[in-house]
Amino acid sequence: MPKLTVTNRAGETSEIDVEDGLTVMEAIRDNGFDELLALCGGCCSCATCHIYVEDTAGGTLSNMSEDEDDLLESSDHRKDNSRLSCQVPFSAELDGLKVTIAPED
């Protein structure tokens, strides 16, 4: 099963298994990372699932939509590697992806 490495806001890192067909947000949420709020449930309307993509492990992320870009613009913590985890479909190609949960706005 493909793996995702998640670093929480305290700097603790965990490696989790990700089922095919999930988004990065669903994988993080379903594995007990309560600090990733994901209030809109993945509808790309709240930006509470903001992450930093640290390493794509050789895979290619989906392109950022205009809606995602607009929501990230409202964050005080946006970086060049910012994404909304609800907008990143996870696949076997991304096995080894490393992300950090962004600070809360």
Specify whether the CB–CB gap between 3 and 20 falls below 8 A: no
Per-residue model confidence as pLDDT tens digits over 12-45: 999 999 998 999 999 999 999 999 999 999 999 9
Mean pLDDT score of the chain, rounded to an integer? 96
Is 43 exposed, middle or buried (CB count within 10 Å of its CB: 0-12, 13-18, 19+)?
exposed
Specify whether the CB–CB gap between 39 and 85 falls below 8 A: no
What is the C-alpha to C-alpha distance for residues 92 and 58, in angstroms, rounded to an integer?
A: 11
- The structural domains of the chain, ordered by start, are 3-101 (3.10.20.30)
Share of the chain above pLDDT 90, in %: 94
Query: Is residue 90 classed as helix, strand or coil in its secondary structure?
Result: coil
Report pTM. Answer: 0.95
